[in-house]
A and B are shown apart, each in its own frame.
Chain A
Amino acid sequence: MGKRVGIPRTLLYYYYYPQWNTFLRELGHEVVVSAPTSKRIVDEGVKLALNDACIPIKLYHGHVVDLLDKDVDAFFIPRYVSMDPGARMCPKFLGLPDIIRAKLEDQIPLYVDTKVDNRKRKHIEEKFYRGIAKQLGNNPSEAKLAFAKSQEVFEDFRRLLHTGMSYLDALQLYNAGKDLKAEYQARKDIDPFDHPLNDPEDPSQPRRLHFAVIGYVYLIYDDFINANLWKKMETLNVSLHTFDQVTEEALDYQTQRMHHDLFWMFSNRVVKGAFHFLHQDKIDGIIHITAFGCGPDAMTTKLIELEAKNRTHIPYMRVLLDEHTGDAGLMTRLESFTDMIRRRDSAAAKAQNLKETG
């Protein structure tokens, strides 16, 4: 008997959704995702959540409230303690099911709050997914098959991201039911830094710029909270690259630049992603997106800033988001950042010309 399982469209939705969705569907459940973030959702979240909490946690409250109206049988609020051995998630993620339970105890019919704790040993994920299946009333053998399938889909999905595709584009392909393997084969030889619009031979065309967007997945992919970053940058003729397009091996390679690994899995990846892009000379600029009141980011920001100081030829900009972030102000900042890089480009070209001509 299938249940309607509600998934809030924020936080780890932007990382694990294909796996969750495949797994739950394989078990015969219906997946309901909350509406894309809107003013109403932000307001609901701000009303319900503690006012010192960071904006992602407030958003999470809003999305859960949104799901309350959708006649959902079970709420998917898993407790992600640790995925990478040795690193944990942010403490707020660890306490998330308890926070939501304290706020909305009576209104939620069933919590799916199984915990995954991979600090000590590997391959504990299967146990985690078996726990989810148990909470939803499925038997372990079903769970095993569904997990195998979901793992396969997730691996294909990540591989597709590593070709340089953005999560949102890849998610569209996944939702449309496309064969992810075939898509990967079609794209695997294309260099993400080689854009069809970019023609180096034609000087009348402005050069396609490549920026790295550093930040947590739930900030860089949520179009409402980052004020439509992706569309804006497209209009400015800029391609964006994110840390989840970098393979894990490449991220691990950056460990050598750190004294001591951070405790938080995503912060670790974000910092290593930033280091990866800073030390790879294909990037024209780095935009670091962070949320007001984000605990780990108070630490990562300093680390990235110090490293960016040593690599001065790559401009670095930090954008701080909260529920009051204005569209216009952000647009101005992004435009001026892009303009600054383009000017530097043309100044360098002029200097080159002068040198050659005489």
Chain B
Amino acid sequence: MLKYTLRRILGMIPMLFLVSIVVFFLAKAMPGDSLSGEIDPTNTNPEYIAEMREKLGYNDPVYVQYYRWVTDFMSGDFGKSTRYKMPVAELIGEKLPNTIFLALTSLLITYVLAFAMGMYSGRKPYTVGDNLIAGFNYAGIAIPSFVAGVFAVYFFAFKLNWFPFAGSVDIEIDKGTIDYWMSRIHHVMLPAFVLGMFSTASYTQFLRNDLIENSRKDFVRTALAKGTPLGKIYNVHILRNSIIPLVTFLGFDIAALVGGAIITEKIFTYPGIGLLFLDSVNNRDYPTVMAITMMLSAMVLIGNLIADILYGIVDPRIRLG
């Protein structure tokens, strides 16, 4: 197992290298100075630009520039935002907690809902309740998240006034108080639900089918014959087997949350990394764009890696030579 994990981690390095090269050349293809952000885009004096380019090493060979960028990036220097005139790392650090909070809440909602609904459907398949849940699942998988999000804002924020329609916290509340956290939770609920809708639906469906399949297995019949109560069979014997694949989805979730957060944060004007990314593209703040691109790409890679490793850990039946 350890050998496999190490091999997967080592296998990620060339992938990370390739991705960083792609991001680097995309950054070079972008207009202006999108790697460091030191050149003031409003100053169009050709002498100034030429001087700055020389100073920042833009006339060096490409591989030297790449090496400099990568080493800077790994030491946490993501360049300087042309819009906010501050280091991109600081800018990201400001918004990242919001996105992480959103993602974690979304995961929590997903797992709680999927568990409750999946367990119910799996125990009572082909009943009215199961069919209702199946209908919800189909909608959750087929309806695009931005359509669902727009409708959610319209009904739950504007018509029913249950949730705020924008932001991550009320402005007038002091930081650190209980009210502050309540307000944050209040703000994050709706976007988190929309963000997790797709995974909730697919997990529920998965858990249901797995429960039904496992309930026909021999060990269940043995347990029944021994006189084990049905509730215990479901909650202990079957669930333990069905939960395995669900755990491995966690890694893919990290990757999916990356893309999902961009759309969800836009719909709910939730100030996180996704919204920062979109605003930066719109304001031609290319150093920020490229830093976020690199960061999100790395996160997808890490997410897939976690999925692979968890897959091996939780199910010893899977032998990965």
A binds B: no
Q: Which residues of A contact B (CB under 8 A)?
A: none
Q: Which residues of B contact A (CB under 8 A)?
A: none
